[in-house]
Chain A
Amino acid sequence: DTGVSQNPRHKITKRGQNVTFRCDPISEHNRLYWYRQTLGQGPEFLTYFQNEAQLEKSRLLSDRFSAERPKGSFSTLEIQRTEQGDSAMYLCASSLNLYRANTGELFFGEGSRLTVL
């Protein structure tokens, strides 16, 4: 399977703990995105990378959140000092460069569900 892979699929943690999610994009894709989806809502943009460079961050990404993409391959999203309001599905997506491929299509993983008790 060469789709976008996310791990872990489900994480249950206590308030105040740190959690880290990993995303492995489709191998030839140079752009990688993180979105958050809460129950009954559509996905909300958090941040995106082109190769290893983080080019945009949403205001939703508080200073407790940090995302990295070392070497421009996989990415990690870390949430420090988790709060109950962080409970959500964290989605990763990848794509080819917009201007090169001009498809605008994102390929999403199945998501990592976070439950903060």
Chain B
Amino acid sequence: GNSVTQMEGPVTLSEEAFLTINCTYTATGYPSLFWYVQYPGEGLQLLLKATKADDKGSNKGFEATYRKETTSFHLEKGSVQVSDSAVYFCALRRFGNEKLTFGTGTRLTIIP
């Protein structure tokens, strides 16, 4: 079946540090991959996505590249800010299927 494995948290970094949150997946076919973010007191919102191998999704300074050979979609940001503190979820969706499969989430805290 489909599954997503995420780097366990919580992760605590200082402002302006480099961020990587690892995500690997197991799926049949060629799924679309997503990162969703949940800020405190808010609903989940899409951060970025990639729909095919070697695609790079980017938004708000975050990037993730769809790596089919390593079945990975790691989230990176070169310089984090306090406002990036949130819970980050990696997710996949198989083509033609409505169901999103999420990882367990990684809580990120950025300290000034």
Contacts and interface: CB of A to CB of B under 8 A. Distances in A.
Please indicate which of the listed interface residues B36, B41, B49, B99 has the most CB atoms of chain A within 10 Å of its own CB: B99
A104 B49 contact: yes
A109 B45 CA distance: 9
B34 interface: yes
Contacts of A109: 43
Which bracket fits the contact residues of B? 20 to 34
B98 interface: yes
Nearest to A104: B32
Contacts of B89: 42-43
B25 interface: no
B111 interface: no
Given A3-B43, A105-B46, A42 B51 contact: no
B91 A42 contact: yes
Interface residues of A, number: 26
B66 interface: no
Contacts of B96: 98
A4 B43 CA distance: 9
A54 to B, nearest CB: 12
Contacts of A55: 98
B100 interface: yes
Interface string B52-76: 0000000000000000000000000
Given A42-B4, A48-B98, 12 more contacts: A43-B44, A45-B101, A48-B99, A56-B98, A91-B43, A104-B51, A105-B49, A106-B46, A108-B36, A108-B44, A108-B45, A109-B43
Interface of B: 4, 6, 32, 34, 36, 41-46, 49, 51, 89, 91, 93, 96, 98-105
